[in-house]
Amino acid sequence: MTAYLIQRLLSMLLSLLGVSILVFWMVHLIPGDPALMILGERANEAALQELRQQMGLDQPKAVQYARFLSDLSRLDLGRSFRTKGLVAEEIGWHFPPTAELTLAAMMFATVFGILAGVISAINRGGFWDFATMFGALAGVSIPIFWLGLMLILLFSHQLGLFPVSGRLDALLDLEIERQTNFMLLDTLLAGNLAAFADAVWHLILPAITLGTVPLAIITRMTRSSLLEVLNQQYITTAYAKGLSQWIVVGKHALKNSLIPVITVIGLEFGYLLGGAILTEHIFSWPGLGSWLLKAVEARDIRPIQGGVLFIAALFMSVNLIVDLLYTYIDPRIRVPSATV
């Protein structure tokens, strides 16, 4: 197990090195002079020169890459040129809102997705099967942007049930010290239950918006995987022994059908952690996605590099965790020994 972990971590490191090369050159290959992007209409030769020099853009590319790598080896992601802030700090600030939103969205998608999948499978061909599959099809095809706006219009504007956007009421927020920038955690740390409830309230609509596509995918995956398992002989045996449907599905079939579902959940989770730009945009959610988008728009090199590396590392870690989860779900799957 340990050997396997070490091997996986080493290969992760290697992949990250590959990502660093890729992201470094991509940033330099996309058109648009970073200095010019900052100066805009007002750019003149003197100002451009000065800025390029300050940004280190006048150095040869190889020198720039070497400096980038040497900083990286000291875990220093550099400073943003736009905001002058440390990239590591900015990631530390913008990741918690994204993580919070992703967790909420995936919780919503997993619970309701598996439930809907099971209902659909055991009613195969019936009305509920048809209804959930129709819902799932709608779910994967719905434009997130439109869905988010509609939810806001209906539930916040017309019915007044939810706040429109943001993470916490602006005045309540003044009482909360942002220690971690995980809002649920910070409000609890402050011992302010009203603020905690308000933070949960703010989380619901964006989580539904972000979770809808994964919800649909999980539903379909659960259904098809469960159907496959239900066709196996041991299930027939179980029914023949006179076990109730609840026991058969809940105890014998479901766990065995979860492997592909976990794979999908892991992939979606890793993907969403990289930031959900559209959802963040609609709900004024200050997450990693919109932060990175701003950096790209401004050709702010260091945040782009640091942000992409961070997201890649995150994605790989989630994948590793999913792989380890397999062995728990299905004991037949063994962690390969390092020599293989």
Partner 1 sequence: MSHAKPRVFIFGRGGDSVGLDPAHEEDGESFKVCESIYDTLVQYQDDSTEIEPALAESWETSADGLTWTFRLRRNVDFHDGTSFDADAVLFSLNRQHDANHPFHEVGGPYIYWTDSGLAETVDQISRIDDYTIQITLTRPYAPFIYALTIPAFAIVSPTALKKSGEDFTNHPVGTGPFSFVRWDRNEKIVLKANKDYWGGAPGVDLLVFRAIPENSVRLIELQNGSIQAMEFPNPDDLPLIRQDPDLNIIEQAGMNVGYLAMNMDKQPFGNHKVRQAINHAINKNQIIEQLYQGLGIPAKNPIPPNMWSYDQTTEAYTYNPDLAKQLLRQAGYANGFKVTLWALPVPRPYIPNGRMLAEAIQSDLKRISIETEIVSPEWGTYLEKTKNGEHDMAMLGWSADFADPDNFLYYLLSKSSAKKPAGNIAFYRSDEMQSILDQARTETDTTIRAQLYRQAQALFQKDVPWVPLAHAKQIVIARKNVRDLTLHPISFKYLRHVKIKAD
Q: Which stretch binds partner 1 (CB under 8 A): 86-94, 116-124, 240-248, 252-260?
A: 86-94
| H or E element at residue 338 | none
For residues 4 and 201, which CB has a smaller minimum distance to partner 1 in the complex? 201
Tell me which residue of 261, 253, 265 sits closest to 105, measured CA to CA. 265
Nearer to partner 1, 8 or 167 (CB): 167
Report the alpha-carbon angle 306-66-289, nearest 5. Answer: 10
Q: Say if CB 59 and CB 305 are below 8 A apart.
A: no
User: Cβ of residue 45: shortest distance to partner 1, in angstroms?
Assistant: 6
> Among 64, 78, 94, 304, which residue interacts with partner 1 (rule: CB under 8 A)?
94
The 188-227 site mask, x for binding partner 1 (CB under 8 A), equals ----------------------------------------
| Length of the chain measured in residues | 340
Positions in 143-162 near partner 1 (CB under 8 A): 149, 152-153, 156-157, 160
Whole-number Å distance between alpha carbons of 119 and 140: 19
* In the complex, least distance from residue 211 CB atom to partner 1, rounded to whole angstroms: 19
For partner 1, the binding residue among 179, 284, 327, 337 (CB under 8 A) is 284
What does the alpha-carbon distance between residue 303 and residue 88 come to, in Å, rounded to a whole number? 9
Regarding 164 and contact with partner 1 (CB under 8 A), the answer is yes
Residue in 286, 313, 317, 323 binding partner 1, rule: CB under 8 A = 286
Rounded least distance, CB 272 to partner 1, Å: 18
Q: How far apart are CA 258 and CA 226, in angstroms?
A: 8
Q: How far apart are CA 160 and CA 171, in angstroms?
A: 19
Site mask, partner 1, residues 25-64, x = CB under 8 A? ------xxxx-xxxxxxxxxxxxx-xx--x----------
Using CB under 8 A, which of 90, 100, 198, 268 touches partner 1?
90
Q: Under a CB-based contact definition with an 8 Å cutoff, are residues 299 and 34 in contact?
A: yes
Which strand (E) or helix (H) includes residue 105? helix 87-122
Mapped onto helix, strand or coil, the DSSP state of residue 193 is helix
Beta bridge partner(s), residue 79: 86
Minimum distance from residue 294 beta carbon to partner 1 (Å): 8
The minimum distance between CB 115 and partner 1, in angstroms, equals 31
Work out how close the CB of 154 gets to partner 1 at its nearest, in angstroms, rounded to a whole number. 11
Bridge partners of 86, per DSSP, are 79
Which residue number, 18 or 92, has a Cβ lying nearer to partner 1? 92
Q: Enumerate residues 290-329 that contact partner 1 by CB under 8 A.
A: 290-291, 299
Q: Alpha carbon of 189 to those of 84, 103, 145, 180, 267: distances in Å?
A: 30, 19, 33, 10, 32
Instruction: Give the residue carrying structure tokens 């041991």.
Output: 234
> What sign does the CA torsion over 54, 57, 62, 66 have?
positive
Place of tokens 């659909």: 120
Region near partner 1 per CB under 8 A, out of 17-25, 62-70, 77-85, 109-117 = 77-85
State which residue, 160 or 242, has the beta carbon closest to partner 1. Answer: 160
Q: Which residues bind partner 1 (CB under 8 A)?
A: 31-34, 36-48, 50-51, 54, 81-85, 90, 93-94, 149, 152-153, 156-157, 160, 163-167, 170-171, 173-174, 178, 281-284, 286, 290-291, 299
